[in-house]
Amino acid sequence: MATLLTTLQRSAALAAMLSLAAGAFAASGPAPAAAAAEAAAISANPFAPTAEIPAVPEAFQTSELPDVIVVATGGTLAGKAADGTSFQNYRAGTYLMEDLVAQLPGKEKIADVETAQFGNKGSGSYTLQDLYDLSQTVDAALEKYDGAVVTTGTDTMEEIAYFLDLTVRSEKPVVVTGAMRPWDVIGTDGPANLYNAIKLAGSGKTKGYGTVVMLNDVIQTARDVTKANAHRMDTFETPVLGALGYIDEKNISLYRLNARAMASGTPQWRTPFDLTTIAKSNLPAVEIAYAYQGAGGGAIKQFVEDGVKGIVTAGTGAGGLSADMSAARAEAIQKGVLFVTTTRTGSGTMYQGNTPGIIAGDSLNPQHARILLTLALAFSSDYDTVKGWFQTIGTQDVPASGTVEPAAPAPELVASDLAGHWAEEPVKRAASYGIAAGYPDGTFGPDKPVTRAELAVMLMNALNVQPAVAGEPFADAASIGEWARTAVAQAKQLGIVKGYADGSFKPNAPVTRAEMAAMVGAALGLQGPADGRTSFADDAAIPAWAIPALNGIRQKGLIDGRDGNRFEPSAATTRAEASVLLLRAHDLGSA
């Protein structure tokens, strides 16, 4: 089920293809060119980490110790000082991680350690495109190793860590560390930080927490941590909320869960920001405008002239701006630039207002908000979708249930019209996972067309998402049954549904087989060649925009044809077919 989140939540970025959106779900409408372009972009963006990930050595495979890889990017930790007492006069990113790890005493007691040298320079020298590569390198490493340590410079460590937190797909431990003093001076903190980071990654205690930052024996969440002092070794702090825990020699103590840890092991854990579905060139320009007494609007105007897609404002107090900055912001919004409000004070929560084009940054500091806005705009330019991500992924608020207990299994589906049906067994399995449900009259209606409202409910059941934040309702909200309203609102918030041009949702409209194939193929990232054809007898009737996804999911055995090897793309998808398709996607993710 974990992969199901990776895939289904991608929908916001691939809305033209998969959405319950009007263009893609109008059976007689024009072929969505945007969908074909998106599919081509995906197929042209192969997963290719930039640092070679070594295979797990044979000796590690017979060891009981955890396998940990250190992905090195340089920074002060790998710095070479002018002399043994030069704390400030040094060259960052000089020593190779392989050599530094070799110097660590006692590492053989805590983990089997390998290294991968991603780069070797100061943290501020890396671009967001470099972080795109770094994230995929970490994911590639975690396919082989039990945990990863990422070493970086401390200047922009919090931004690098938050980028990884939002994009790494594996729940395995990712620990970011560095140093405030170069490796070869007296009193250096580098070796201790590296040793403890390896210990933490190998312990598995932060599995599911997302990326964490560990320096000076203190463990912090990537979302909340910030560098608070230019020189002190205890520079990293989490304002108001406090650290996750500490490392004291052999003892690793965690004292609280974050919202991500509470979602561990569920489809809800991953964000929609799967970098394997976009090219690094999709990462847009996003800037930060700082407010101060009598601030002018020139910075915002120049950012807009430079072509930025989003701007984070670091406002005074609760996000306040000067009159000139406010005027420049209003003008920029008219030009399509999205704004996120944060505070320059170092802590405090921003709450959503009613002004279009402005999104509240919650308690994210400006630099963290910029990372989230950059990723959000890389996957969607829709204001409501981006706002929804800030209100869910950005806030990481603990759900009202406050529980980490797994959901109770759904009761067995008993439906009078399923007996002897070709889909009886898989439909019952889908029901056991909470994906599908029958009608109150004791029937399932396996051969009935699945409606847009029903599909929204099935998708949200599969995703197990948090309750929706209130947003602008569809024009025909009154026609959406009470049983589907929450799911439709959740799907809208995630960017899965956008409705029709008139603002309606049309909950009772059926979903065609071509639309369902495009949706699932895009969501799972299973795309064949854009110019290919299928082997179905009615291939000529299948719209070109659906073919890449159809070939991709068919190769995985997720979808079948009908009698006579016909796909029947314009035919309505039945409730049984939708249930079986989502069940197979679940099984694929669990394999």
Mean pLDDT of 449-460: 86
Residue bearing tokens 């995906």: 42
pLDDT > 70 fraction of the chain, expressed in percent and rounded = 85
Q: Is the model's pLDDT at 317 over the cut of 70? A: yes
Q: Report pTM.
A: 0.66
Beta bridge partners of 115: 70
Catalytic: 313? no
Q: How confident is the model at residue 339 (pLDDT cuts 50, 70, 90)?
A: very high
Predicted confidence (pLDDT) at residue 6 exceeds the cutoff of 70: no
* Strand duo 226-227 + 236-237: pairing: antiparallel
Phi (first) and psi of residue 185, to 5 degrees: -105, 160
pLDDT of res. 522: 67
> What is d(CA 53, CA 133) in angstroms, rounded to the nearest whole number?
13
CATH 3.40.50.1170 placement within the chain:
58-269
Q: Hey, how many other C-beta atoms are within 10 angstroms of the C-beta on 531? A: 10
pLDDT at 140 over 90: yes
Closest listed residue to residue 570, CA positions, set 516, 528, 517, 514: 514
Q: pLDDT band for 320, please (50, 70, 90 cuts).
A: very high
Mean pLDDT of 85-90: 94
Amino acid at 241: L
In the chain, CATH 3.40.50.40 sits at: 284-391
Between 535 and 14, the higher pLDDT residue: 535
DSSP three-state, residue 431: helix
Burial 407-432 (b: 16+ CB within 10 A, else e): eeeeeebebebbeeeebbebbbbbbe
Cα 393 to the chain's mean position, in Å?
8
pLDDT of residue 16: 35
Instruction: State mean pLDDT over 357-372.
Output: 97
Torsion of CA 497, 502, 505, 509, to 10 degrees: -120
Q: Which of 6, 73, 76, 395 is catalytic?
A: 76
Contact 467, 438 (CB under 8 A): no
The pLDDT score that the predictor gives to residue 221 is 97
| Residue 524: per-residue pLDDT | 66
CA dist., res. 517 & res. 261, Å (int): 33
Which H or E element spans position 5? helix 2-8
CA distance 343 to 101: 40
Confidence of residue 398 (pLDDT cuts 50, 70, 90): confident
Residues 208, 171: contact at Cβ < 8 Å? yes
User: How much of the chain, in percent, has pLDDT values that exceed 90?
Assistant: 58
What pLDDT score was predicted for residue 400?
Answer: 61
Q: What is the mean pLDDT of the chain?
A: 85
Mean of the pLDDT values across residues 112-119?
Answer: 97
Output the pLDDT for position 577.
92
Task: Tell me: pLDDT of 286 over 90.
Answer: yes
| Higher-pLDDT residue of 526, 411 | 526
Residues 6+ away with beta carbon under 8 Å from 81: 87, 89, 90, 182, 183, 184, 185
Kindly tell me the burial class for residue 482, based on how many C-beta atoms sit within 10 Å of its own C-beta (0-12, 13-18, 19 or more): exposed
21 has pLDDT over 60: no
DSSP 8-state secondary structure symbol assigned to residue 372: H
Average pLDDT (4-25) is: 37
Check residues 343 and 517 and name the one with the higher pLDDT. 343
- Rounded CA-CA distance 145/67 in Å is 5
Comparison of pLDDT for 409 and 514, the residue scoring more: 514
Q: Is residue 123 a known part of a binding site?
A: yes
**Mean pLDDT in residue range 248-274:** 88
Mind spelling out the 3-state secondary structure of 274-334?
A: CHHHCCHHHCCCEEEEECCCCCCCHHHHHHHHCCCCEEEEEEECCCECCHHHHHHHHHHHH
Is residue 143 scored above 50 in pLDDT? yes
What is the DSSP code string of 513-536?
HHHHHHHHHHHHT----TT----S
Q: Is 341 annotated as a binding residue?
A: no
pLDDT, position 515: 84
Query: Do 176 and 212 form a contact (C-beta atoms < 8 A)?
Result: yes
Q: Which CATH architecture has domain 284-391?
A: 3-Layer(aba) Sandwich (3.40)
Q: Is 340 helix (H, G, I), strand (E, B) or coil?
A: strand
Least confident stretch, 56-65, 66-75, 287-296, 486-495: 486-495
Cα 502 from Cα 507, distance rounded (Å): 14
531 annotated to bind ligand:
no
CA distance 23 to 27: 9
Nearest to 487 by CA among 436, 432, 433: 436
What per-residue confidence (pLDDT) applies to 269? 85
Residues 421-445 pLDDT 10s = 999 999 999 888 888 888 877 889 9
The C-alpha atoms of residue 397 and residue 391 are separated, in whole angstroms, by 9
More confident of the two residues 440 and 29: 440
**Is the pLDDT at 49 greater than 60, yes or no?**
no
- At 146-202, the pLDDT tens digits run 999 999 999 999 999 999 999 999 999 999 999 999 999 999 999 999 999 999 999
Superfamily of domain 58-269: L-asparaginase, N-terminal domain (3.40.50.1170)
Start-to-end C-alpha separation, the chain: 9
For position 4, what pLDDT does the model report? 37
Whether pLDDT at 523 is above 70: no
pLDDT attached to residue 230: 96
Residue 344 pLDDT greater than 90, yes or no: yes
pLDDT band at 485 (very low <50, low <70, confident <90, very high): confident
Amino acid in position 114: E
Q: What is the mean pLDDT of residues 324-329?
A: 97
The span from the CA of 318 to the CA of 448, in Å, is 52
